Each structure stands twice: as C-alpha cells, then as structure tokens.
Structure 1
Amino acid sequence: MLPDSEYNLPGYQTFLLPQVEGTRGLATFVRNTIPAEVVARPPDCWEGNEVLGVKIHKRSEEIVLYVYRKPNIDFTAGELFSTTYQEKVVIGGDFNAHHPTINPNVNQANPTGTHIATLLDKMPENTLITEAEATHVRGGTLDLTFVSTNLTPNVHWNLHPTLTSDHFAVHITLFNLEPASVPMPLPKWNVKKKDWEVFQQELDTWSRNYEAPINIHEAETHLV
C-alpha cells in the first residue's frame, strides 16, 4: 500500500489509493473480464478521509463502487451521497457511526451517525442495506453499505462466514442488473436558466458577511 509499491493480483485489475502519512491506503480489485476505470475525482469527505472510486461497466450498465475509510477526524458525506443523482452507486466502508437509524440496538448517537441519519432522511435516493448485526468482533455495526435506492431490489448483503480480521468481511451481491427494476431519479436541480455571474456575486456577498461556527456539521448545514 506504499506509494512506490507495485502489487498485482493475477486475473484482476488493481486500483490503489496509496498510503500516505496519517492514512492506511485503500485497494479495489476488479476481474480482468469486466471493463473498469478509476474515478479521477472522487467525492470529498473532508480533509484526511480516504475515498477510492471505481466505475465498472457491465453490458449496458455502469455502477460506481466507492470504498471509504474514516480515521478519527471530521467527516461529511453530502457530496458522496449526491453521486446517486447521476449514477448507480455502491458505497461501503468503516464509518464508525452510531445512531438508532443505522442500528436499532443502540440508544445513543455520535456526530457521524447523526450526520448520516440526517442525509438519509434528506436524500432518499440513498438506502442503507446493512443488516442490524455486529460487523466487529467486539460488537458494533461499524461497517456500513449504502446503495442507490433504485438498486435495492438487486442487492443482497451478508457477512462472510470465514473471512475476518478484527472486522468481519462484508459480502455484497448485485444481481439482475439489466434492466433496472426502478427508474433513475430525476435531477434534483434545474440549471437550464443558470446565471453563474449572479451566482458568484451572491456567494461573494454571503462569504464576506458570514461568520463560520466552530462545529463543522453546523457549518455544512449553513452552506447547504
């Protein structure tokens, strides 16, 4: 996972987000028989968070897989979840999020869990498919999987029976992808009459008079 390392898995294409200081790195492997490409600019989840996107092409279908790892830093998923407006998306990772919406067995929420629960409420184009069972050997549903809502009839989620470290491996199956069971959602914004000059002026006026709060989640709400 180091920047200067070369890793090849026979029969697979390798997509790496190398380890740098403060991160651990990510890897995605796709069979050679499936056309695939890395997402050049993955969604921003706040500085220091690791996101690796890979787009796979299956017949007339295109699906984007995002793998995410969150260190103990602030996290925002608005841009990540917004990708479902244009594409069919699968998002998986160790979110370390706690909220009754995510796991009904917990009574308390942490900031990340509250943030994700709010996004799921505001952005129904995203669906959490993780079952309410522990994904860590010490308990806790830390590893979450989200998909575009129009993919939910075609997805099966379970924990792998043997693969594990301190986390249990998550096994996701996508099937019957063509044709889609549910139509893609309509675009959320109409930009046919856009006026970027006026938009920029409004942003300039807003930014000159804005006093940002210390809490990043409150700041994100203000910006939206």
Structure 2
Amino acid sequence: MSLNVIQWNCRSLLPKITDLECYLYKENMHICICSESWLSEDKHVSITGVNCFRKDRSDGFGGLIIFVHNSIRAKMLDISLPHNNLDFLGIELMNSSSLKFVINIYSSRNVQTSRYDYDELFGCLNHKTLIGGDFNAHHAAWSHTEM
C-alpha cells in the first residue's frame, strides 16, 4: 500500500478546514501533517472519514495535528520527554508495512532548541519514521537577514 502524505503549515486551521477537506479527498491523501493549527482545546475540528490526532498549546498559537484516513489504523504515541524544548506529536500506524511512525514537530522561534532535543526524540523511533513539521530553521545560506 503506498501512502499519500502532505505536510502543511496552516497558520490557523479553522478558516481553512473546508478547503483542506476538499484537497484531501481530491488528492486521495492518507496522512496530513499540520503545524501552527492555532487551536485551543474548546475548538472542535473534524473531517469526514478522517481521524484527527492533535496537540494544542495553551496560548492558542502553535499547535500540531495529524489527520489520518480511516483506512489506516493509528494510535497516538505516548512519548514523554520532560526536558525537551520541542513541541511534538507522534502516531503509530498499525496496518502499514512501509511506515511505522509519523512525527509532527513545531519548534517555536522563541524557544532555544539544541541537537540534544532532536537526538532525544529521534532516539525513541526506528527507521520507518516520517518526520514533518515547522522547524523555524534559519541558516546564513538561506537568507541574508538576521533573525
């Protein structure tokens, strides 16, 4: 079974949910990794035929979602890394031979992360892992402006 996957920094999901739903069906997407959902716990999000795994932030910004088509059995991972500076959400795919884990990461530009944060998270996973997200990564080769 081949999987169609998309990663999207939606920067406020609710106003765009109908367009996303149409796109997922039109393009036959199995997994959609969304960062910066900007949802709070009291906001309900659903797409017909799709399971929603999400991690909201208390400030209503950031936020992570992984949408998974109902044809794929999935469960949320319980990874506790109390000293890690990354916001992350992980799921385990139960009926896919090619992919075992999907991880969504949000690294806020206001939070200082280190290689240790990534090594610690990636050390919990295996080689059948897809990682997506918004890393807010900057490098001199990509831009001449200072952040």
Aligned residue number for residue 74 of structure 2: 36
The match for 1:64 is 101
The secondary structure found in structure 2 opposite 1:79 is helix
Correspondent of 2:90 among 49, 53, 60: 53
Residue correspondence of structure 1 range 64-103 to structure 2 within 5 A: 64-71=101-108, 72-75=110-113, 76-84=117-125, 86=126, 88-99=128-139
Residue 20 of structure 1 corresponds to 58
CA deviation after TM superposition for structure 1 residue 61, in Å:
4.8
Match of 2:49 in 1: 11
Letter in 2 for 1:90: L
Instruction: Please give the per-residue CA displacement for 1:150-194, whole angstroms capped at 9, x wherever unaligned.
Output: xxxxxxxxxxxxxxxxxxxxxxxxxxxxxxxxxxxxxxxxxxxxx
Partners of 1:45 and 1:90 lie apart in 2 by: 23
Question: Do the aligned partners of residues 20 and 83 (structure 1) sit closer, same or farther apart at CA in structure 2, a change above 3 Å counting?
Answer: same
Residue 105 of structure 2 aligns to a residue whose secondary structure is strand
Q: Are the counterparts in 1 of residues 72 and 96 from structure 2 also a CA contact under 8 Å?
A: no
Opposite residue 136 of structure 2, the aligned amino acid is N
Residue 69 of structure 2 aligns with an amino acid whose one-letter code is R
Uncovered stretches (5+) of structure 2, i.e. residues with no partner: 1-38
- How far does residue 40 in structure 1 lie from its aligned partner after superposition? 1.6
- Counterpart contact for 1:83–1:89, Cα < 8 Å: no
C-alpha distance in 2, partners of 1:35/1:7? Answer: 19
Instruction: Select the structure with the greater relative contact order (CA < 8 A; seq sep ≥ 6).
Output: 2
Q: 2:121 corresponds to which letter in structure 1?
A: L
**Cα distance in 1 between the residues matched to 2:63 and 2:139:** 27
Considering only CA atoms, is the larger Rg found in Structure 1 or Structure 2?
A: 1
Instruction: Decide whether aligned partners of structure 1 residues 63 and 42 sit closer, same or farther in structure 2, where only a CA change above 3 A counts.
Output: farther
Shift of 1:32: 0.5
TM-score scaled by structure 1? 0.39
Name the SS for the 1:83 alignment partner: coil
d(CA) in 2 for partners of 1:5, 1:22: 10
RMSD between aligned residues: 2.8
| In 1, Cα distance between equivalents of 2:135 and 2:102 | 16
SS of equivalent residue, structure 2 residue 122: helix
SS at match of 1:4: coil
Structure 1 unaligned regions, length at least 5 = 111-224
Q: Secondary structure at the match of 1:34?
A: coil
SS in 2 for 1:54: strand
Separation in 2, partners of 1:7, 1:107: 36
Q: Note the 1:210-221 alignment, pairs <5 A.
A: none
Distance 1:107 1:8 in 2: 38
